[in-house]
Amino acid sequence: MFAFFLSSGIFLGWSLGANDASNVFGTAVGSGMIRFRTAAVCCSLFIILGAVISGAGVSHTLGKLGAVNAVAGAFVVAFAAAMSVYLMTMARFPVSTSQAIVGAIVGWNLFSGSPTDVGSLTKIVSTWVLCPVLAALFAIFFYKLVVFLIRHFRIHMFTLDSMTRNGLLLAGIFGSYSLGANNIANVMGVFVQVSPFSDISVFGIFNLSAARQLFLLGGIAIAVGVFTYSKRVMMTVGEGIMELSPVAAFVAVWSHSIVLFLFSSQGLERFLSAHGLPTIPLVPVSSSQAIVGAVIGMGLLKGGRGIRWRTVAGITSGWIVTPVISALISFICLFFMQNIFQQTTYIVQPTIIQEAVVRTEKAGSAVNRRLPESSDPSDPSDQ
């Protein structure tokens, strides 16, 4: 039965692969510097590695946002997110899986009456604004730096072409690993608490935890999505927003990859904390927003010429609509799953307020039992 419920997470992983692979290799494929098959193989492999090795880094934040505690509920949440991503992918708009899963979890919170952690929600939503801004700033800085280095060292055209191809491949690999590490929690995070898997030892070399087994399945689903449907969206990112030169494509992918790494690396968080520096929260960020922000940043550096603002407006509207659609689908599907199919979509857990009410009622009953029956001050027998 769990295998059936897990199918929605597999579907969500496929949707992420079909959509978000464009964010790490879309500019390279769209600019003609890397063939799609090469991009698909590298992207799939390193997304799986990132998911299995570093996938647990951001799952804690989603767990705080909403602890989905029933397997049928986890199925619906993942299904709602997958459907919203699928619909936007069919429309050829790069959309954020992070936004989709957050909307679906909020829908589950509303249906189950569970409180939404406002702090976690605020932290996640703030990254939806910060992520493209950071990517744009990085892109502007790196583009100026690369142009300066090319002019200063007078790099030959053929040498520059070879360096750019290799740089695009390395940046895409780096971005794929970071994407797997950051976004696998969106795919399988809601199933961690209800997973029936147990830890296993692989050849006695390393331990594969239950969560990592889920992340491995999710990574494979993402890889299938990369191979089967990502090419269309890659061309939208690579050509639809603005015509990109190979050098600009390299800068866009590199800037996007750095932003994902900043919000994914547990090692970086520990390093900053050990040196008393402000840490960057480990939250699932939007890779779509990062790559689009990087492309727009370079466009603004050139005075905004060449940016197809109509495409940008369509993508931005998709970012706004996605979490709303996902929350609505989640709420409606939870209603049908609970009332029509008679499946438990959440397990009622007393909240702090409910527990306080129970304790107060018990305390009041105890006081009443201790009071004498003739405690009325108007009773003459007390005089």
Q: What is the DSSP string of 295-341?
A: HHHHHHHTTTTT--HHHHHHHHHHHHHHHHHHHHHHHHHHHHHHHTS
List the beta bridge partners of residue 367: none
Average pLDDT over residues 241-249: 77
The answer to which of 23-32, 117-126, 262-271, 344-353 has the lowest mean pLDDT is 344-353
Rounded to a whole number of angstroms, the distance between the first and last alpha carbons of the chain is 72
Residue 366 above 60 pLDDT? no
Over the chain, what is the mean pLDDT?
84
Cβ atoms of residues 58 and 65 within 8 Å: no
0.85 surpassed by pTM: no
Mind listing the pLDDT tens digit for each residue in 246-270? 888 889 889 999 999 899 888 888 8
CA atoms 230, 231, 232, 235: torsion sign: positive
Q: Which residue has the tokens 């200063």?
A: 152
The answer to which of 41-55, 61-75, 193-207, 209-223 has the lowest mean pLDDT is 193-207
Mind listing the pLDDT tens digit for each residue in 290-312? 888 998 999 898 887 778 788 78
Mind listing the pLDDT tens digit for each residue in 9-41? 999 999 888 877 777 887 788 777 889 999 999
Residue 193 above 60 pLDDT? yes
**Rounded distance, CA 360 to CA 356, Å?**
6
Cβ atoms of residues 69 and 112 within 8 Å: no
Phi, psi of 209 (to 5 degrees): -70, 170
